[in-house]
């Protein structure tokens, strides 16, 4: 009787192991077919963005810095892009970028006058404050 129970358990285990898992490959294939038409449109957009961009004329116009800003970057008229580059050169030369949060700039005496008396300014706010000193 004990052997009959063992044999019954073995056959039950074999039956459960032989059951195939439910397959749904047809649903996956149809989803893949739906995504395929979107790819050519993406390639066309990538080709358009690969063309060379022309700089905005407003950025290239020579602007005269105020006397306060001239102490940092010089008094000669220059485009906004050059002004930003020169300010970043000054910040890096004097190690004014915050060591923990690199987005913040610790102002020294010259930059504090440009930043309106603020001791710490974010790099995004910096361009706004500098634009007030350009004519």
SS3 category, 44: helix
- By mean pLDDT, which of 10-24, 73-87, 115-129 is the weakest? 10-24
The answer to whether 72 touches 109, Cβ cutoff 8 Å, is no
Domain coordinates of the chain in residue numbers? Answer: 58-131
Please give the Cα distance from 127 to 125 (Å, whole number): 6
CATH number of 58-131: 1.10.245.10
pLDDT of residue 100: 95
Contact predicate 130/69, CB 8 Å: yes
pLDDT at 117: 94
Q: Which two tokens stand for residue 81?
A: 């892009």
Of 67 and 43, the structure prediction assigns the larger pLDDT to 67
33 or 111, which is more confident: 111
Q: Taking residues 81-101, what's their average pLDDT?
A: 95
Percent of the chain exceeding pLDDT 90 equals 53
78-105 average pLDDT score: 95
If phi over 0 gives left and psi between -120 and 50 gives alpha, with beta otherwise, what is residue 37?
A: alpha
What confidence category does residue 53 fall into, taking pLDDT thresholds of 50, 70 and 90? confident
| Residue 67 confidence (pLDDT) | 95
| Count of Cβ atoms closer than 10 Å to residue 132 Cβ | 13
pLDDT band, residue 51 (cuts 50/70/90)? confident
Alpha-carbon distance of 126 to 26, in angstroms, equals 56
> Average pLDDT of 43-69?
78
Cα–Cα distance, 25 to 27 (Å, whole number): 5
Q: Is the pLDDT of residue 96 over 60?
A: yes
């Amino acid at each position: 009787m004990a052997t009959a129970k063992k044999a019954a358990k073995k056959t039950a285990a074999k039956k459960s192991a032989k059951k195939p898992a439910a397959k749904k490959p047809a649903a996956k294939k149809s989803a893949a077919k739906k995504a395929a038409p979107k790819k050519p449109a993406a390639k066309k957009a990538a080709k358009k963005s690969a063309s060379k961009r022309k700089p905005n004329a407003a950025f290239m116009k020579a602007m005269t810095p105020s006397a306060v800003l001239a102490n940092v970057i010089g008094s000669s008229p220059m485009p906004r892009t050059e002004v930003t580059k020169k300010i970043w050169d000054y910040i890096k030369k004097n190690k004014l970028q915050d060591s923990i949060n690199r987005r913040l700039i610790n102002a020294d005496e010259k930059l504090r006058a440009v930043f309106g008396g603020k001791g710490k300014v974010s790099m995004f706010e910096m361009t706004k404050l500098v634009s007030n000193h350009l004519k």
